[in-house]
Structure 1
Amino acid sequence: MAYKAVDSTSKKLIQIDISSDTVCPWCFVGKKNLEKAISLVNEQYNFEVRWHPFFLNPNAPKEGIKKSDYYKEKFGASKSELILSRMKEVFRGLGFEYDTAGLTKHLDSHRLISFAAGQGYGKQNELVEELFQNYFVQGKYIGDNQVLLDAANKVGIEGAAELINDPSKGLKEVNEELQTYSSHITGVPHFLKKAPEPIVKSKALLKTRVLPGFHYGNGTFIGDDEVQTNGWWKEKKGGKKRTLRGATVASMKSSKPPKPNPFETIWSPGKKTLMKEYEESTKASKFIDGRLGEG
């Protein structure tokens, strides 16, 4: 689904920035459900969706391992079976069969996605869809150069071969995006909205869930432990502690409300995200910086 401004004089433009990992199944689910939500109001608004990198597992082997083996190693046999069963159920609800084949090192897919943005965010979105389909539905190794090139050629990304075959190209751009959009978050998908007016004015958009099991309130897509009102996070009494709750780590640590920001978080995983995954994701910047020095 391409998001293009077709009549900027009569429709307001809503920019949505998504931090995502190409091997995160919930990012694919979030994309499909966001598309459903957008379809409800596309006569009222134009949308520009931009994709930014996040690394759940920057140390994944390039040759790839089966998703099922990875889940067993990370969560244990019994829990991994429940996870895979749930994912298959969710994907069937979207009209897909969840494939449990290869998990790959995904840096190259993020390099390609960042590169595609230079040829238009519509093209970038088509590429993201193709890579998600390749990985989650067709079981392909999206760390493989030929798989990446085939995906790029299918959606018409020019110059992809040169980028893919040079592992140093695009690393700086990926690192900059990682620092700008993903360094402060604990999980994905993470959705940011930039628009001239609150998205709550489009009631229909709030009726379609980004992820199963989540609800909405106060004009924002939220999870059970995430509430945002007037640009600041509500306080919650929990036991003997008073904690700030929300998706933005920087806001949670701050003693004062953040400065006005044109972006508003409309959905992001909350504190239930495994800290192990967060710790792995924070290694990504140093990991990419290391790659910058490679010849």
Structure 2
Amino acid sequence: MSNKIKIDLFSDPACPWCLVGLTRFDQALQRLDPNVELELTHHAYLLDPNTPEGGENARDVLQMKYGQAPDEMWDRLEEEGKKSGLDLDMRKQEIRYPTQRAQILIAIAKEQDKQQEIALALSRANYLKAENISDPDFLADLAEAHGFDREEIFALVQREDLKGHIEKAAADASKQGVQGVPFFIFNEQYAMSGAQPDEVFDQVFAQLLSGEPMPQPDQSA
């Protein structure tokens, strides 16, 4: 038996599947025995590191990427979101914003062990409220609501050196095999990608805590 779980999580607030996946993951965390010792680290991933400063039209981006309108994919996302209690309207957020500044905030949140709540709050703000998650004022306000110093965050998210660090970390993650998000690595041994169903997270946690060898989870989601 083990009482410890180490999780490395790669995500991007610009990724709608990350909102669904992080929501399900968060709900599974709430079901964990409070005595479990959890070491959770969020890592940066950028769907598009070249997204322009003011953002770009989300429909146009997806139309160009997939060669067809994104409506079918959006409908599926909305249905999956509803299963997890998300009132998701994929037509609400019309702009895909760059997320380097948001990723800086997620990285900073590690110091206060608040990465999960900040990452989830950013994804919710992006897709449920259509906020500009690249705006320093918005990020500072969100951080302040979670107990951070507003002025400090406002300055940090605009630092070019931190932006460069995020871009390098995201590029390194891609080189190391993270090609889609959300992406989870458990105990530095078992990888799982996609917005997995609720029960999958419960099964993974139970298997890890049992101390028995765990087969690679299905990553088809």
Task: Bin the TM-score by the shorter chain.
Answer: 0.7 to 0.9
Is the 8 Å Cα contact of residues 106 and 142 (structure 1) preserved in structure 2?
yes
Change (3 A) 1:151 1:47: same
**What residue in structure 1 maps to residue 108 of structure 2?**
115
SS at match of 2:140: helix
**What residue in structure 1 maps to residue 127 of structure 2?**
136
Is the 8 Å Cα contact of residues 8 and 186 (structure 2) preserved in structure 1?
yes
**What residue in structure 2 maps to residue 127 of structure 1?**
118
Out of 11, 14, 17, which is 1:26 matched to? 17
Higher strand share: 1
Out of 117, 138, 147, which is 1:156 matched to? 147
| TM superposition shift of 1:68 | 2.4
Find out whether 1:222 has 2:212 as its counterpart.
no
Aligned length: 199
Q: TM-score with structure 2 length normalisation?
A: 0.76
Find out whether 1:67 has 2:58 as its counterpart.
yes
Out of 85, 96, 99, which is 1:103 matched to? 96
Out of 47, 54, 64, which is 1:56 matched to? 47
**What residue in structure 2 maps to residue 81 of structure 1?**
71
**What residue in structure 2 maps to residue 36 of structure 1?**
27
| TM superposition shift of 1:182 | 4.3
| TM superposition shift of 1:218 | 4.7
Deviations 1:56-108 (A, max 9, x none): 11111221233223222222344x12111111222222222233322111111
| TM superposition shift of 1:171 | 3.3
SS at match of 1:49: strand
Letter aligned with residue 219 of structure 2: G
| TM superposition shift of 1:160 | 0.6
Is the 8 Å Cα contact of residues 114 and 170 (structure 1) preserved in structure 2?
no
Structure number with the bigger relative contact order (C-alpha 8 A, sep ≥ 6) is 2
| TM superposition shift of 1:17 | 0.7
**What residue in structure 1 maps to residue 194 of structure 2?**
none
| TM superposition shift of 1:191 | 0.5
**What residue in structure 2 maps to residue 174 of structure 1?**
166
SS at match of 1:150: helix
Structure 2's unaligned 5+ residue stretches are 191-196, 202-206, 208-212
SS at match of 2:200: coil
Higher helix share: 2
Deviations 1:84-141 (A, max 9, x none): 1111222222222233322111111111211221x222x2222111111110111111
Letter aligned with residue 6 of structure 2: Q
* Superposition pairs of residues 190-201 of structure 1, within 5 angstroms: 190-194=183-187
Letter aligned with residue 160 of structure 1: I
Percent identity reads 22
SS at match of 1:208: helix
> Residues of 2 paired with 1:60 and 1:171: CA distance?
13
Is the 8 Å Cα contact of residues 46 and 167 (structure 2) preserved in structure 1?
no
Is the 8 Å Cα contact of residues 97 and 137 (structure 1) preserved in structure 2?
yes
Change (3 A) 1:179 1:208: same
> Residues of 2 paired with 1:66 and 1:209: CA distance?
34
> Residues of 2 paired with 1:186 and 1:105: CA distance?
18
Q: TM-score with structure 1 length normalisation?
A: 0.59
Letter aligned with residue 89 of structure 1: E
> Residues of 1 paired with 2:58 and 2:174: CA distance?
24
> Residues of 2 paired with 1:83 and 1:42: CA distance?
35
Find out whether 1:90 has 2:86 as its counterpart.
no
| TM superposition shift of 1:164 | 2.3
Letter aligned with residue 186 of structure 2: K
Change (3 A) 1:84 1:207: closer
| TM superposition shift of 1:40 | 3.6
SS at match of 2:157: helix
SS at match of 2:51: coil
